[in-house]
Amino acid sequence: MARPNPELINALRRTAKKLKDGAPYQWGHMGGCNCGNLAQELTKLSKDQIHTYAMQRYGDWNEQVDDYCSTSSLPIDIVINEMLNAGLMLEDLKHLEKLSDKQVLARFAVERRLTLKHNVRDDVVAYMAEWANLLEENLLEKIQLPNFSEAVVV
- CA–centroid distance for 46 within its chain: 16
Cβ count within 10 A of residue 140: 9
pLDDT score, position 154: 57
DSSP class of residue 148? Answer: G
On whether residue 148 sits in a domain, the answer given is no
pLDDT in tens, 2-52: 999 999 999 999 999 999 999 999 998 999 999 999 999 999 999 999 999
Q: Is residue 37 part of a domain?
A: yes
pLDDT at 103: 97
Q: 105 phi and psi, to 5 degrees?
A: -60, -35
39 inside domain: yes
Q: Which residue has the higher pLDDT, 141 or 121?
A: 121
What's the number of domains the chain is made of? 1
Assess if residue 28 is contained within a domain: yes
What would the 3-class secondary structure string for 85-130 be? HCCCCHHHHHHHHHCCCHHHHCCCCHHHHHHCCCCCHHHHHHHHHH
The answer to whether the predicted template modeling score (pTM) of the entire model surpasses 0.85 is yes
Q: Is residue 31 part of a domain?
A: yes
Domain around 34 = 6-142
Residue 115 lies inside a defined structural domain of this protein: yes
Residue 109 lies in a domain: yes
pLDDT digits (tens, 9 = 90+) for 86-130: 999 999 999 999 999 999 999 999 999 989 999 999 999 999 999
